[in-house]
Amino acid sequence: MRRFLCALAGVVVAAGPACAVLPSEQLHDPKLEARARHIGDELRCVVCQNETIDQSDAPLAHDLRVILRQRLIAGDTDRQAIDYIVARYGHFVLLKPPFETQTLLLWLGPFLVLVVGAVGLGLMARSAARSDDQTAPLTPEEMALLRRRLEGEEGP
């Protein structure tokens, strides 16, 4: 039972979030390092785009981690450090960009795609219904030909 619990604890620890912060990047002051980790969770790796800078092994993420720690050592507040990185890399570097005119399309884009898709489907459905209503009925000759073919007789 003890081995099982140790193995289970190992799996739980291994299943946690990956961390690519190298020991050489870590700050000696635990409070500053904790701040850097907290801020790093808010910044996106511009190369990977789906990972924070602390999770990414990309060289650019390494550079961002180093810049962030340099700013904190220089005495920047969390907001000043984030603003410095945003000024260099744009709002895209933020995992949760602010809702403002520059990021309006980023926030409203998915809804616009849904609206355009719904309008397109509605137009297609209306067009299909209209074309079904405009279908002319079969002539008596066409009905006779259809009956013969359905009964298995050869037709012209």
User: 71 and 122, same structural domain?
Assistant: no
In this structure, the answer to whether residues 92 and 43 fall within a common structural domain is yes
Q: Domain range spanning residue 136?
A: 103-150
Q: Which three-class secondary structure state does DSSP give residue 44?
A: strand
Query: Residue 16: what pLDDT?
Result: 42
Same domain, 29 and 62: yes
Are residues 36 and 54 both part of a single domain?
A: yes
Cα 130 from Cα 107, distance rounded (Å): 36
SS3 for 94? strand
Contact call for residues 66 and 23 (beta carbons, < 8 A): no
Question: What is the rounded average pLDDT of the residues 131-155?
Answer: 81
Residues 16 and 81 reside in one and the same domain: yes
Does 141 map to a domain? yes
For the whole model, what pTM was predicted?
Answer: 0.56
Asked, for residue 42, whether it belongs to a domain, the answer is yes
- Looking at the structure, tell me whether residues 88 and 108 fall in a common domain: no
- Indicate whether 135 and 108 sit together in one domain: yes
CA dihedral 92, 95, 96, 98 (to 10 degrees): -20
Q: How far is CA 50 from CA 73, 93, 95, in A?
A: 27, 11, 9
CATH of the domain at 47: 1.10.8.640
Residue 56 has what pLDDT? Answer: 84
pLDDT digits (tens, 9 = 90+) for 63-101: 899 999 999 889 999 999 999 999 998 888 888 888 888
Degrees, nearest 5: CA angle 129-132-138: 170
Q: Are residues 14 and 79 in the same domain?
A: yes
Are residues 111 and 127 located together in one domain of the fold? yes
Position 139, amino acid: T
